[in-house]
Chains A and B, each alone.
Chain A
């Protein structure tokens, strides 16, 4: 059995693909009303399928895995976890079992087979689905707080630590621990005796 990360799609989704919006598909049903019962039933099943996977209807659904060479396969495996399944709560394309994710996996394989590089593929996907599809947020003014914020904070924090240490050294200090502990004990004794 060959390694195939692109799980073959489920049998019920094999069928003609409709590019038309759903309501149009539904409008066809009266037109076919006079036809044989079997065809009507088949159409009903098809319609239900489309209703269940509305998004899937927009893309090619017959998947035979696109062969990739070893290098491309490794690239594919590395790239997939960085892409988000658009219909799941929070799953990457690598993990998701959703039909739309299978379709996107298929698309990504196709792009890799065409020899596109990471930047090209990501651009292709973000042009269609927005930054939402990338788990690694792009570096842009709106994400500066994300990429630079922690390190700026680290710089400020380190500065404060060194300043604090210098200040505390310049302030004179006696053997603090003993003084504090005795004070604490005395306080306990004092305040318990009303």
Chain B
């Protein structure tokens, strides 16, 4: 009964979404305020429907209703409760349900927070979001319903893929989807602007906090994914340029470009059509990512071709959304009049270069992700594009961004002054050059070209960003008042740019000085890595809630002192017969010590992988800085003030009419 209710709720949501897409459009054509204001109610009704459907599926998982095919495939009677709840998005059908739930959540948020937007604008935004929802509901109902029954019901479920039974992966997909899907709001604003022809500073100011919020979630989602891969996949890597990772990284690059170009459009009224195009691009890349991950095309082009219904639907949907948006763009964009002069050496000029490099970096990732698929589909050849490609091409394309990030906070809008810029950036530049030489030696005792470059770029980004806040604080007579006077948006930008610098320090540190070893150790034997002594003490059995584990004990000593006891495991999940290595990590800000178990031998010895990972935490710390930067920027009181001012203006206007 409950699964049928869930299925019915999805159908109902589809109906409401259709109305939400069509009625406001009619209202806009007829200039009918009642039809326009229907959009908000529809958004709320749609959210109720899909939340109910989602609750139904969660209920099926929690109560282990194996008569539902999707539950039988991804649930198990011994699965801990927390993973029964997260297993809802553990595979294709449930992921899509989460996708539409989040999309509907964003839609609801737009309908609540945008009440004071001009009615036609907010109604059109909701209408576009309704169209996107409609597509996804159809996709679910036609190809991927999670509520399909299985007859006869099996006595036991097939279990959630053990690799997903991890707290990191429990929160990674919702965060990522919040970001992916959040770009749909920017997309909807862009389409609404194209329809109404109103694309001005006010439009940019409405769009900015939404875009920044989506970007912030995407940043966190990617960071969490990287952290999860590091600890769960057992080989200490934090980024592999895997197509699945690229699928989330391309929208991030486009979204990063978008939040910067929105700044230009708001402050200077320039780059209007470019900003709209970027909003379309960011969401298109989100859709592409969903297609790549969800259609199965990455696992095997041929498996995809043998069951093409899902992939075909997704491709067709993408063609409609992207094609429609670009057609509208080609038709309406020429009417967007841009006034004002663009100096290349000005903040907006530098931001334009920032956009150029970010978008082309995204294009390089796109080429590297799609070319192997295309060549394989055409039967030309099978090709791999991996780190050796990206490490050359991608790094060349993003290196200039580090120069720009330092300049950006210092060079003013409209027209920059070389001499003034040099004067203000003298100190950060000197610090960065000194640290370029000193830092690798101080932290690691030696240096490499990469480590020096990373230190230069990272310190330059950090100190140039800090310099801006420092100058603002110094401008006030008293430092506390000075700190308070710095707007949140500036704090946000500064934090995000510092995060970029921290990330660069982490990457260059771990790549230059990380070390690893594969060893076979007998009981009591030891090995040395990065100045640490690893002694393999014993291995024994350990029982988990739904697995049994071989657990090793490794004592780590440094300078004759015991600093950590690690327990790497090799888990057997009997439900699927899967064996997983669970690494054990002694985490520290400056270095991680990482051990994972390999094979056991008849003589009682084990093969072990031991890693020394200096500064790897900086990589995720950078991501966390960017997240909080986004949070501060999105919550700047300027947006709230702007809303309050608009509200007053509207109230006055309405009062005048009444």
Contacts and interface: CB of A to CB of B under 8 A. Distances in A.
Contact of B386 (A5, A135, A187): A135
B442 interface: no
A150 B342 contact: no
Given A180-B269, A189-B653, A158 B118 contact: no
Nearest to A2: B519
B649 A4 contact: no
Given A10-B599, A168-B340, A192 B200 contact: no
Given A149-B364, A161-B344, A142 B380 contact: yes
B397 A6 contact: no
Nearest to A190: B653
Contacts of B360: 150, 153-154, 157
A92 B386 contact: yes
A185 interface: yes
Given A137-B383, A184-B200, A176 B649 contact: no
A109 interface: no
A8 B598 CA distance: 10
B479 interface: no
A137 B368 CA distance: 10
Given A4-B518, A8-B607, A192-B118, A165 B342 contact: yes
Contacts of A66: none
A87 to B, nearest CB: 13
A94 B340 CA distance: 55
Interface stretch (A34-42, A54-62, A126-134): A126-134
Interface in B159-213: 198, 200-203
Interface in B553-610: 581, 598-599, 601-602, 607
Nearest to B536: A1
Contact of A1 (B237, B270, B521, B654): B521
Contact of B518 (A6, A168, A181): A6
A177 interface: yes
B393 A177 contact: no
Given A150-B397, A193-B654, A169 B389 contact: no
A136 interface: yes
A191 interface: yes
Contacts of B517: 3, 5
A118 B25 CA distance: 63
Given A81-B387, A95-B237, A179-B339, A1 B393 contact: no
Contacts of B234: 97
A142 to B, nearest CB: 6
B523 interface: no
Contact of B367 (A130, A150, A164): A150
Interface footprint category on B? 35 or more
B599 A133 contact: no
B437 interface: no
A137 B269 contact: no
B38 interface: no
Interface in A78-102: 81-82, 84, 89-92, 94-95, 97
Interface residues of A, number: 62
B269 A176 contact: yes
A74 interface: no
B268 interface: yes
B371 A145 contact: yes
Interface stretch (B126-134, B321-329, B348-356, B461-469): B348-356
Contact of A168 (B267, B341, B368, B657): B341
A194 interface: yes
A91 B646 CA distance: 54
Nearest to A136: B388
A55 B649 CA distance: 74
B201 to A, nearest CB: 5
A181 B646 CA distance: 13
B339 A176 contact: yes
A69 interface: no
Contact of B520 (A4, A132, A181): A4
B202 A150 contact: no
B387 A143 contact: no
A124 interface: no
B166 to A, nearest CB: 17
Contacts of B240: 90-91
A90 B243 contact: yes
A44 interface: no
Contact of B341 (A4, A169, A179): A169
A84 B384 CA distance: 8
Contacts of B341: 168-169, 171, 173, 176
A147 B202 contact: no
B343 interface: yes
B356 A154 contact: yes
A117 interface: no
Contact of A4 (B299, B385, B393, B519): B519
Contact of B343 (A89, A90, A165, A189): A165
B307 interface: no
Contacts of B339: 173-174, 176, 179-180
Interface in B267-285: 267-270
Nearest to B357: A154
Nearest to B268: A177
B493 interface: no
B388 A188 contact: no
A134 B243 CA distance: 16
Interface of B: 33, 118-120, 198, 200-203, 234-235, 237, 240, 242-243, 267-270, 299, 338-344, 349, 352-353, 356-357, 359-361, 363-364, 367-368, 371, 375, 380-389, 393, 397, 517-521, 525-527, 581, 598-599, 601-602, 607, 646, 649-650, 653-654, 656-657
Interface of A: 1, 3-8, 10-11, 81-82, 84, 89-92, 94-95, 97, 130-137, 142-143, 145-147, 149-150, 153-154, 157-158, 161-162, 164-165, 168-169, 171, 173-174, 176-177, 179-181, 183-185, 187-189, 191-194
4 smallest CB-CB distances across A and B, nearest first, come from A135-B386, A176-B340, A136-B388, A184-B202
